[in-house]
Amino acid sequence: MTTPTPAPTHMEIQITGIRKHIAVCITETGEKECGIRSSVWDTPVPLNSWIRAHANETGHTKYKKHTEEPVNTFSKRVKASDQ
Ligand SMILES: [Zn+2]
């Protein structure tokens, strides 16, 4: 199988939104993780409060903090003059 030579392109990745912060409880409860997710916030500041509140309520001790950043890809055709 031969692959046709693709036209020269340059893949751009562009951030398209605000970085979001979320915490997830990964404490094992019996056979599986608790898995409860916090709300999604634009700043990381509320994460610790959410974790403390959930820990107070449940006694759960293991968490992960995640950030999400929406991005788009788009390919730019490389101009012959750029090569
Ligand atoms: Zn939990």
Q: What is the pLDDT of residues 25-36, one digit of tens each?
A: 999 998 899 999
Q: Is residue 3 situated within a structural domain?
A: no
- What is the reported pLDDT for 9? 78
Full residue range of the structural domain in which residue 69 is found? 9-82
Structure tokens at 12: 């751009």
Q: What number is the average pLDDT over the span 47-66?
A: 97
How many structural domains is the chain composed of?
A: 1
Signed CA dihedral, 1, 73, 76, 82: sign only: negative
Indicate the residue type of 1.
Answer: M
CA of 54 to the centre of ligand 1 (A): 6
77 pLDDT band, cuts 50/70/90, is confident
What pTM does this model have? Answer: 0.69
Q: Is residue 1 situated within a structural domain?
A: no
CA of 35 to the centre of ligand 1 (A): 6
CA of 80 to the centre of ligand 1 (A): 56
Q: Is residue 2 situated within a structural domain?
A: no
Residues found in the chain: 83
- What is the reported pLDDT for 6? 65
Structure tokens at 77: 């055709």
